[in-house]
Amino acid sequence: MTRYITVSIISGLLFAIMDGLINANPIAQNLYSVYQPIMRSAINPVTGTLIDLFFGFMMAGIYLILNKNLPGTSGLAKGAYFGLLVWFFRTSMNTASQWVMFQIPTSTVLYSLASGLIEMLVLGMLYGATLQNER
């Protein structure tokens, strides 16, 4: 249980850091300028971090529930598969919906898909490397 709590906190903070790097860099700012008319003028980092910490706990818990049924023999393989699952349900479905509903440049769509994939693989592999024998 202590490992689960520790990994959840680490993954939540890592989630927040990666979100910041993915969304606040100059390339992303240029690509996401299409959303400018509906973007907030300022981000609340405390609220964003608390949300990412919550997501860290939820994702680590879901990994523990699914762990035995994920393909692969090593924790890293299981974690990568989990990351792909989360990426599909979180990033690719959301990105596809936005692409259908809004006039978004292809480069923005591809950036969202690629950055989300990297982020979810990192988190999934963290869970696989650290929570493999937890229960």
pLDDT in tens, 69-102: 999 989 999 999 999 999 999 999 999 999 999 9
Q: Is 135 inside any structural domain? A: no
How many domains in the chain?
1
Q: Is 12 inside any structural domain? A: yes
Distance between CA atoms of residues 22 and 112, nearest Å: 9
Distance between CA atoms of residues 65 and 58, nearest Å: 11
What is the per-residue pLDDT for 112? Answer: 95
Q: Is 51 inside any structural domain? A: yes
Computed over every residue of the chain, the mean pLDDT equals 93
What is the per-residue pLDDT for 135? Answer: 61
Distance between CA atoms of residues 114 and 97, nearest Å: 16
134 band by pLDDT with thresholds 50, 70 and 90: low
Distance between CA atoms of residues 64 and 3, nearest Å: 12
43 band by pLDDT with thresholds 50, 70 and 90: confident
Boundaries of domain holding 25 = 2-130
Is the model's pLDDT at 113 over the cut of 80?
yes
Read off the DSSP letter of residue 133.
Answer: T
Q: Is 102 helix (H, G, I), strand (E, B) or coil?
A: coil
Give the DSSP letter string of 17-83.
Answer: HHHHHHHHSHHHHHHGGGGGGGS-SS--HHHHHHHHHHHHHHHHHHHHHHGGGSS-SSHHHHHHHHH
